[in-house]
C-alpha cells in the first residue's frame, strides 16, 4: 500500500510543487543525488572513475510542456557532452523522451535525440530511458528510427511488462545495447506482472537472452539492478556461457548499494553508476522511495533534525 501511495504521489502535480520547498525533503534527497548541477555530478564521477566505476548522467525532469523546453533540454545535454569530453570522463548520458518533447510531437523528440547521438564521442552511448507503459510504443519507434543511423544508442527495457520478452526478441536483430531494469512505474495487472517473484523470474529469463546474444557476438547488455539475487544469477549465466567479466556490465543508481558496486568493479566486471541531478527531482525521488519504503526513514530523520 505504501508503495502504491508513493507512486501515486510521484505523479501528483500539487505535491511536486509544494514538497520540494521544504528543506528537510531536499536534504533527504542527498543520499540519492550528489547535487542539483552537472558540476556536482562531474565531481562525483571523477571520484567514482578513480575506483574503476564509470558513470551515466541524467538530468531529472520529464513531460516537458513546450518545444522550447524540449530544445533547452537537448542544448543542456549537448553542453554536458562537451564538459564530459573536457574532463576526459568515460560518462554516458541517459535521456527521457518526454523530456525531449515526445508529448508534443514524436518527430521533434526523434530529431533532438538524433542531435545527441551525433554529438556523442565514438564508443560512448546515449541511453533512452523507458517511462510508463503508454510511452513504450513511441519510445521503441523513436529508438529504432535514430538507431538506424546511429549505432551509439541504447534502450532501457522493463522486466515487469508482459510485452518485454517479445520487444526484446524483435530488437535482437539490431545487436542493440539494452539496459535491463525491473521497472519503476505503477502499471495495471493486465500488462505488468503484479507479483515481485514473477518480475524477478522474468528478469532472469531476459538476462539469459541478453547474455546469450552477447556471447554470440551481439549487443551490449547492461544488468541494471541492486538486487543481489539478480546479480548472482547474471554472474552464473555468464560463467556458463564463458563470457569474460568485462563483457558483463552492471549498473546501479548513485547512493544505492555503493559497496556492492565497488566490489563488482574490483572483481573485474564492467560497472557504471547512474547519477541523476537537476532541480526537478520530486517524481524521481518518490519512485526511489517506493522501491524501498524503508528509505522514508531518511526523510523522517531530516524532519526531526
134 binds ligand FDA (CB under 6 A): no
295 binds ligand FDA (CB under 6 A): yes
54 binds ligand FDA (CB under 6 A): no
CB of 41 to ligand FDA, least distance (A): 14
Which residue lies nearer to ligand FDA by CB, 129 or 242?
A: 129
Whether 179 is catalytic is yes
Whether 129 is catalytic is yes
Binder of ligand FDA out of 195, 239, 266, 292 (CB under 6 A): 292
What sections of the chain are H helices per DSSP? 2-10, 13-18, 23-28, 38-50, 67-87, 106-119, 136-147, 164-171, 196-215, 228-240, 258-266, 282-291, 296-304
| HSE-CB of 18 using CA atoms within 13 angstroms | 5
Which residue lies nearer to ligand FDA by CB, 70 or 284?
A: 284
275 binds ligand FDA (CB under 6 A): no
161 binds ligand FDA (CB under 6 A): no
Stretch that binds ligand FDA, among 22-30, 83-91, 233-241, 291-299 (CB under 6 A): 291-299
Which residue lies nearer to ligand FDA by CB, 177 or 274?
A: 274
Helix (H) or strand (E) holding 153: strand 153-158
Binder of ligand FDA out of 243, 252, 264, 270 (CB under 6 A): 252
| HSE-CB of 38 using CA atoms within 13 angstroms | 19
| HSE-CB of 168 using CA atoms within 13 angstroms | 29
Helix (H) or strand (E) holding 185: none
Which member of 179, 214, 272, 288 is catalytic?
179
Binder of ligand FDA out of 99, 225, 271, 302 (CB under 6 A): 225
CB of 242 to ligand FDA, least distance (A): 26
Measuring CA to CA, how many Å separate 23 from each of 18, 48, 70, 291, 301? 11, 28, 29, 23, 12
158 binds ligand FDA (CB under 6 A): yes
Which member of 103, 129, 167, 200 is catalytic?
129
Q: Residue 192 forms beta bridges with which residues?
A: 161
Which backbone phi and psi does 227 adopt, to 5 degrees? -80, 115
Nearest to 253, CA basis, from 219, 291, 201? 291
Point out which residues bind ligand FDA (CB under 6 A): 129-130, 156, 158, 179, 181-185, 224-227, 251-253, 256-257, 274, 288, 291-292, 295
Amino acid at each position: 500500500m505504501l508503495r502504491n501511495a508513493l507512486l501515486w504521489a510521484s505523479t501528483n502535480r500539487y505535491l511536486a510543487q509544494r514538497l520540494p520547498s521544504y528543506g528537510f525533503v531536499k536534504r533527504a534527497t542527498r543520499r540519492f543525488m550528489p547535487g542539483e548541477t552537472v558540476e556536482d555530478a562531474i565531481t562525483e564521477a571523477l571520484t567514482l572513475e578513480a575506483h574503476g566505476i564509470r558513470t551515466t548522467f541524467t538530468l531529472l525532469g520529464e513531460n516537458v510542456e513546450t518545444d522550447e523546453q524540449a530544445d533547452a533540454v537537448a542544448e543542456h545535454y549537448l553542453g554536458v557532452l562537451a564538459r564530459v569530453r573536457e574532463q576526459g570522463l568515460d560518462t554516458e548520458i541517459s535521456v527521457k523522451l518526454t523530456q525531449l518533447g515526445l508529448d508534443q510531437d514524436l518527430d521533434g523528440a526523434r530529431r533532438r535525440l538524433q542531435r545527441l547521438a551525433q554529438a556523442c564521442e565514438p564508443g560512448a552511448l546515449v541511453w533512452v530511458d523507458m517511462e510508463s507503459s503508454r510511452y513504450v510504443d513511441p519510445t521503441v519507434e523513436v529508438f529504432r528510427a535514430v538507431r538506424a543511423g546511429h549505432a551509439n544508442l541504447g534502450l532501457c527495457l522493463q522486466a515487469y511488462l508482459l510485452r518485454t520478452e517479445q520487444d526484446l526478441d524483435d530488437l535482437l536483430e539490431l545487436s542493440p545495447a539494452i539496459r535491463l531494469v525491473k521497472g519503476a512505474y505503477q502499471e495495471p495487472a493486465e500488462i505488468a506482472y503484479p507479483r515481485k517473484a514473477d518480475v524477478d523470474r522474468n528478469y532472469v529469463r531476459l538476462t539469459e537472452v541478453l547474455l546469450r546474444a552477447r556471447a554470440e557476438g551481439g549487443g551490449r547488455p547492461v544488468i541494471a539492478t541492486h538486487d543481489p539475487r539478480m546479480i548472482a544469477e547474471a554472474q552464473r549465466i555468464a560463467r556458463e556461457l564463458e563470457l569474460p567479466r568485462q563483457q558483463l556490465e552492471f549498473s546501479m543508481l548513485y547512493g544505492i548499494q555503493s559497496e556492492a558496486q565497488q566490489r563488482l568493479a574490483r572483481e573485474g566486471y564492467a560497472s557504471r553508476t547512474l547519477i541523476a541531478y537537476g532541480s526537478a527531482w520530486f517524481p524521481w525521488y518518490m519512485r526511489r522511495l517506493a522501491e524501498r519504503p524503508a528509505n522514508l526513514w531518511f526523510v523522517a530523520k531530516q524532519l526531526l533534525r
